[in-house]
Structure 1
Amino acid sequence: MRDRLSKVIALAHLKLALRATIAGIVTYLLAEQFALPNGYWAVLTAVLVVQATLGASLSVAIDRALGTLAGGVVGVAGAMLAGKSPLETLLVLSVALFIAAALAARSTSFKLAPVTVVIVMLAHPGDVAPWLSGLTRVAEIALGGVVGLLCAILILPERALGKMFPYCAKALRLTAQLLDLGRGGLLGQGIDPSVIDRLNGGARLALRAADLRLVEVRAEQAGRLTTQTDPAPVVRGARRLWHSAIILLRNADRPLDEPVAGLVSATLTAATTALSAQMSAIADRLDGQPVADLATRADAASAAVAALEARVEELNAQGAFGAVGAETLTALFSAVSACVHMRENLEELAARLAEVQGEAP
C-alpha cells in the first residue's frame, strides 16, 4: 500500500506542496497588512516562484522580477503617452506591446513584460496615476518573489543536484542494457531494433532532463545558495558512455562470423559484463545508495577490457583474421574500441563523481 501511494505522490511532492502553501498564505497576510490594491499578484508570484529545487525557484524569481520591471517601465511610459480616445490608446498600446514582446522574444527572462504592459495600461484606467500603478505592480511582484524564494530556501529545501543525479543514474542503467544487447547481437544471440530504440529514447530523455537540472544547479551556484563542485563532468561522462554504447550497436545487427565469434566470445562477454556491473554500481552511487565494492568492480572492468584487447591483438598477430570479412573485422574492432572508451569514461566518471560528493578520487 505504501509503495503504491509513493507512486501516486512522493515525499518530494508533499514538500513542494507545503512550501507553496506556506508561501501563498504568508504573502496573502503581508498583502493585506500593506493594503496592496491587487494583492493576488503577490500571492500568485509567491506560489509560482516556489519550484521543485532552489535553483529553479531562483530562476523563476529573477525572471518574474526582470519581466515585471521591464514591462512596468514600458507600460508606465505608454500609459502617460496614451490619450483619452480609444484609438490613441490602441496605437500606444500596440507600440508598447511590440517593444515588450521583442524583449520577451530576445530573452525568456522578460516573458512577463508584455503581460505587465497590459495590466499597467488597461487595468482600472484613470483611477491612479500611471507611474503609481506601475510601481504598485512591481512592489506586488517583488513581495511575492521574496516570500516565495525565502520559503524555497528555509522550508525543507531541495537541491537541484539531488534531482539531477537520478537522471544520470537512469541513463547509465539504460546504457548498460544497450551494451549487453549489443554484445548479444555480435555473438549471434539476436537483437530487437524496437528494444534498442526504446532504450536509446529513454537514455536521451534522461540526459536531457539532467541537462535541465544542471542549469538549476548553476543558478544555485550563481546565487551563492550552494558551494557544490560543478557536476557538469558527471553529465558529460554519462553521455559519453551512452555514445560509446551506440558505437558498439552500429555493427551489432549482423553477428560476427562464427569462427571469430567463438575465438572472442569469452573475453568479449567478460568485458561487457564487467563494464555493465561497474555502470550499475556508479548508478547506485548516483541514486544515493551505498556501494562498498565500487573500486573492486572498476578493477575487474579494467582487467576484463585489457584481456579483451590482448586477446584480439594475439589473434591478429597469429593471422587468425586473415580470411575474415571486412564487416566482421569492422564490427569486432569497433566493439573493442567502444569497450576501451567505456573503461576510460567510467574511470573519469567515478573520479568526477567522487569530487562532487566530496570524496577522494
Structure 2
Amino acid sequence: MTLPAASQLRDWLVNRRAELRLALRVTIAGAVAFILAHAFSLTQGYWAVITAVIVMQASVGGSLKAAIDRFLGTFAGALYGAAVAAFIPHGSVVQLGGAVVAALAPLAFLAAVRTSFRVAPITALIVLLGTSVQTLGPLASAIERVFEITLGNVVGVTVALFVLPARAHTLLTESAAQVVRLNAQLMAALMNALVAESGGPVGVAPLHASIRASLKQVETAADEASRERKTHLTDAPDPEPLVRTLYRVRHDFVMIGRAASGPLPGALRDRLQPFILTIRDTACALLTELGDALQMRAPPPTSDAIDASLADYAKEMDALRTEHLIEDLPSDAIGRLYALQFAFEQFRQDLDDLTARTHEMALRDRRDGETGEAS
C-alpha cells in the first residue's frame, strides 16, 4: 500500500472511530448471545442474538433504554399472549383469527400509549402462533421467550458497559459543541446582513436546519445521560441545564434574526457598522472557543471581549438617542433597532449560563482525573 493510500486509510479510521467501536460492540454482543443461547439449548435462541444486537446503541444510556423497553414489551406481550393461547380456542382458522384479534387489540393500544411496549403485540403473536406449531404449551412458550429476550438484554448491556463503552455524557458534549459552533456561523451571517448595503441574510436557512437537527441529537444524548445518572453509572452533571441553555441561546438568535432581516438604514449603518462587526468577531470567537471547550471538556474561555463590544454598542445607541437620530426613522426600523439591543442583552445573559455549563463539564472531568490519579 502506498503512503498516500495508507494515510487516507488512517484518516478514515480516525474519523470513524465511534462507528467502528459500535460495530465491534454489536459483533461481540451478537457472538456472545449466540454462544449462550446454544449453551442453554434454547429452541429459538436466535431471539437472544437479535435482542443483543437491537439493544446495542451508541451509548450505555441508550443501550439501557433499549433493553428496558425490549424487556417490558416482551414480558407484557408474552404474558398476555400466553393467556390468550390458554383460554381462547384456536384450533381452526376462524378461531385462530379471533384469537389474533383478541391478542392484538389491547396490546396495540398499549403500544400506542406507551412506546416502551411497542414490541408487545409482536411478542404476543409469536407466542400465540408459535404454540400452534410447537410442542411447548402457552406458558412454557411465554417463559422461554422472556428468558431469550432477557438473555439478549443482559448480554447487550454488559457488552455496552465493558467493551469500549461510550458514555452518553460524551455524546452530549459533542452534540452541544456542534450546536454552539453552528451558532457562531449563524451570528456571522446575521451581523453581515445588518451592515450589508442591500439584501437579507445569506445562508441562514441551512444553518437553522442544521441547528435544529443538532439540538435533537442533544436531547437524545441528554435523555440517555439522565438514564446513566439514575442508574449510578456516572456522576456527570445533570444534562438538563445545558439543554435549556442551548434552547435559550437558540431563542436569542431567533430574535436577532428578526432584527437582522435586512440592512440597517444608511446613516445609522455607517455609525453602527464598526460596533456590529466587533460584536460579530468577538461573539464568533467566544462561541467557537466554547464549542471547543465543551467537546474537550476543558475550562471555558473568558468573555471580556464580548462584554466590551456589547457595552460599546450600547453606548453608541445611547449617543444616537441623545442626538435624536433615531426618532425620525420609520417605525419598522426603530422597532428593529430596539429589538436588536434587547436581543443582545438576552444573548449576553445566556452566554453567562452557557459558560457556566461548560465550566461544570470541565470540573466533572477534572474530578474524575484526580480520582483516577489517587487510585
Q: TM-score, normalised by structure 2?
A: 0.89
In 2, Cα distance between the equivalents of 1:218 and 1:251? 37
In 1, Cα distance between the equivalents of 2:60 and 2:205? 34
Per-residue CA distance 1:43-95 (angstroms, 9 max, x = gap):
11111111110011000000110001000111100111232222222212211
What amino acid maps onto 2:31 in structure 1? I
Give how far 1:291 is off: 6.7
- Structure 2 residue aligned with 1:53: 59
- 2:237 touches 2:361 (CA, 8 Å); kept in 1? yes
What amino acid maps onto 1:121 in structure 2? L
Per-residue CA distance 1:128-172 (angstroms, 9 max, x = gap):
111000000000100110011000001110011211222222222
In 1, Cα distance between the equivalents of 2:264 and 2:38? 75
- 1:79 touches 1:121 (CA, 8 Å); kept in 2? yes
Give secondary structure in 2 for the equivalent of 1:25: helix
Give how far 1:242 is off: 2.4
Asked if 1:172 is matched to 2:180, the reply is yes
User: Which of 341, 351, 354 is residue 349 of structure 1 equivalent to?
Assistant: 354
Give how far 1:191 is off: 4.8
Per-residue CA distance 1:172-192 (angstroms, 9 max, x = gap):
222222222222222124555
User: Which of 44, 68, 71 is residue 65 of structure 1 equivalent to?
Assistant: 71
In 2, Cα distance between the equivalents of 1:224 and 1:127? 43
Give secondary structure in 2 for the equivalent of 1:36: coil
Q: What does residue range 16-165 of structure 1 map to in structure 2 within 5 Å?
A: 16-83=22-89, 84-125=91-132, 127-165=135-173
- 2:195 touches 2:264 (CA, 8 Å); kept in 1? yes
Give secondary structure in 2 for the equivalent of 1:37: coil
- 1:28 touches 1:42 (CA, 8 Å); kept in 2? yes
User: Which of 244, 248, 269 is residue 277 of structure 2 equivalent to?
Assistant: 269
- 1:257 touches 1:328 (CA, 8 Å); kept in 2? yes
Give how far 1:4 is off: 5.4
- Structure 2 residue aligned with 1:305: 310
> Could you say what the CA RMSD is over the residues aligned between the two structures, in angstroms?
2.0
Give secondary structure in 1 for the equivalent of 2:203: helix
Asked if 1:316 is matched to 2:324, the reply is no
Question: Which moved further from structure 2: 37-46 or 316-325?
Answer: 316-325
Give secondary structure in 2 for the equivalent of 1:156: coil
Give how far 1:302 is off: 0.9
- 1:184 touches 1:190 (CA, 8 Å); kept in 2? no
Gaps of 5+ in 1: none
In 2, Cα distance between the equivalents of 1:44 and 1:264? 62
Give secondary structure in 2 for the equivalent of 1:357: helix
- Structure 2 residue aligned with 1:227: 235
What amino acid maps onto 1:143 in structure 2? L
User: Which of 211, 215, 227 is residue 207 of structure 1 equivalent to?
Assistant: 215
Aligned in 2, Cα 1:136/1:112: closer, same or farther, shift over 3 Å?
Answer: same
Give secondary structure in 2 for the equivalent of 1:255: coil
- 2:290 touches 2:355 (CA, 8 Å); kept in 1? yes
Give secondary structure in 2 for the equivalent of 1:51: coil
- 1:75 touches 1:121 (CA, 8 Å); kept in 2? yes
Runs of 4+ in structure 1 deviating by more than 4 angstroms, as ranges, are 189-194, 289-292
In 1, Cα distance between the equivalents of 2:200 and 2:144? 62
Question: Which moved further from structure 2: 185-194 or 68-77?
Answer: 185-194
Give how far 1:243 is off: 2.0
In 2, Cα distance between the equivalents of 1:92 and 1:289? 56
What amino acid maps onto 1:282 in structure 2? L
- 2:169 touches 2:225 (CA, 8 Å); kept in 1? yes
Question: Which moved further from structure 2: 152-161 or 253-262?
Answer: 253-262
